Structure 1
Amino acid sequence: MSRPMQIHRLVAHQPFTMVEGDKNPSLLSWNVRDPPTMAINSDGIPGRKLYPHELAFAATNPLVTTLRILCGIFPDSDSWRIEAHNPRGVTVRDVLKAIYDAFQQPYPHEEFSALSAKTQRRILDSYYARVRATADARATWEAGIQRGDGLMKHFWFGGLSSSFTDDPEMDSTCILSMRIEEDTLALSSPTGIVPSPFR
């Protein structure tokens, strides 16, 4: 039986070490729709971005060259995947970039159409809110719905957990936890019209 994979503490889901009153079960405070350079290390100096040497830490022990990351919010993880790759061993930087890149992908119209009307409305509200919050609303609007909009209000990084299974195919797989942003408001269409948000 292989040794269980350990996740580096910077990106690990660690609810049992949380400070009382803290809602973030991770050392990182990061909205996954923002570039990884925006991630804050909440361990120590308040508001400190990650140092280059922290980004270069191995994400797992033992090292893996490919790390598959499953996100329970998207049960269709076979039709799209989050995978971090590095022939020298996946690093914290590789993990954050893979997550960010995955949620920047367009949300396929066919998959969106298969969702319930309520879920579609919530995803559209998330998309409209993102458009309103960006510096270039027109470009964001024209780019259309992204996978990250499917997170709805659950777009804050909550850390990675090992998959805890005896299946050898899952040895290099971990689970991505997301946490909710309580203060997020659902905003209506910034233009007052609703053309197709798919590109």
Structure 2
Amino acid sequence: MPSPGLHLFLQYSQHAVQRCALLWDLREPPASARHASAPSPLSEFELSQHATNPPVACLRVTCGIFPEDSWVAEAWNGLGVTVRDVLDAIHTTVYTQITYPEWYKLCPKQQHRVNLVFDARWRRSADPARAREMGVLRADCLLRHVSFAGMTAAPDNKSEDSTYLLTVGHPKR
């Protein structure tokens, strides 16, 4: 059974002319997501639209850059998963503190890189002590791959729930 079609805001496009319609840094709250064509944030109406057509009650998001299977973002909504539900699920997944087993699965070189990102994040925070106390987040492990670039249906989707692959990129400067 094919996966339901994704809302335009969530779709990945490999074409240079037509990129993802949404600009969003995964480290920021979903409310910071904005239109790619204009600097305006998404409206409450746009965020409340169904993420798929037809609507689904559960949507799973995976990403090849995520090092753990436990990093799957799941959005649930009995009335149909919305764009906001998807963004919230992704943000919650990457804004989670990593576990010791996750940390020790990283090679020393990767640990060093993640530490640099972590140190930069807590130092520029409005509340550095609180940010440092939170520890290393999964978002820190993404290094510079923190821009939402859209999603595509997973090719091996065999479950009842819809599974999509998240594409991430480097922020535009």
Same-fold call, TM > 0.5? yes
Q: Does 1:40 align with 2:48?
A: no
Shift of residue 80, structure 1, vs aligned partner: 3.4
Could you tell me how far apart the structure 2 residues matched to 1:82 and 1:130 are? 23
Match of 1:61 among 37, 53, 60: 53
Residues of 1 paired with 2:91 and 2:68: CA distance?
Answer: 18
CA distance in 1, matches of 2:45, 2:103: 40
- 1 CA distance for matches of 2:164 and 2:81? 13
Specify which of 131, 135, 138 is matched with residue 129 of structure 2: 138
Shift of 1:28: 1.2
> Does 1:111 find its partner at 2:102?
yes
What TM-score, normalized to structure 2?
Answer: 0.92
Q: Deviations over 1:81-120 (max 9, x none)?
A: 2100100000000000111111111101121112111111
C-alpha separation between the residues in 2 aligned to 1:90 and 1:30?
Answer: 19
Cα displacement string for residues 1-54 of structure 1 (whole angstroms, at most 9, x for unaligned residues): x244211111111122x438xxxx3111111110011111113xx210001110
Q: Is the 1:162–1:175 contact (alpha carbons within 8 Å) kept by the matching residues of 2?
A: yes
Q: Aligned partners of 1:105, 1:178: CA distance in 2, in Å? A: 18
Structure number with higher helix proportion: 2
The residue type paired with residue 32 of structure 1 is L
Q: CA deviation at 1:142?
A: 0.9
Secondary structure of the structure 1 residue equivalent to 2:166? strand
Secondary structure of the 1:169 match is coil
The SS at the match of 1:159 is: strand
Q: Distance in 1 between matches of 2:123 and 2:3?
A: 44
- Contact 2:12-2:150 at 8 Å conserved across structures: yes
Q: Does 1:120 align with 2:111?
A: yes
% same residue: 35
> 1:49-198, aligned counterparts within 5 Å?
49-77=41-69, 79-165=70-156, 167-169=157-159, 172-181=162-171
Q: Alpha-carbon deviation of 1:59? A: 0.4
**Contact 2:3–2:162 (8 Å) recurs in 1:** no
Letter in 2 for 1:179: G
1:170 shift after superposition: 6.8
* 3-state SS of paired residue (2:159): helix
Any idea what SS the aligned residue of 1:67 has?
strand
| Alpha carbons 1:163, 1:170 under 8 Å: kept | no
Alignment-mate amino acid for residue 7 of structure 1: L
Aligned to 1:26: 20
Looking at structure 2, the residues matched to 128 and 158 of structure 1 have their Cα atoms a distance apart, in angstroms, of 26
Per the normalisation by structure 1, the TM-score is: 0.81
Q: How many residues align?
A: 173
Larger radius of gyration: 1
Structure 2: 5+ residue runs without aligned partners?
A: none
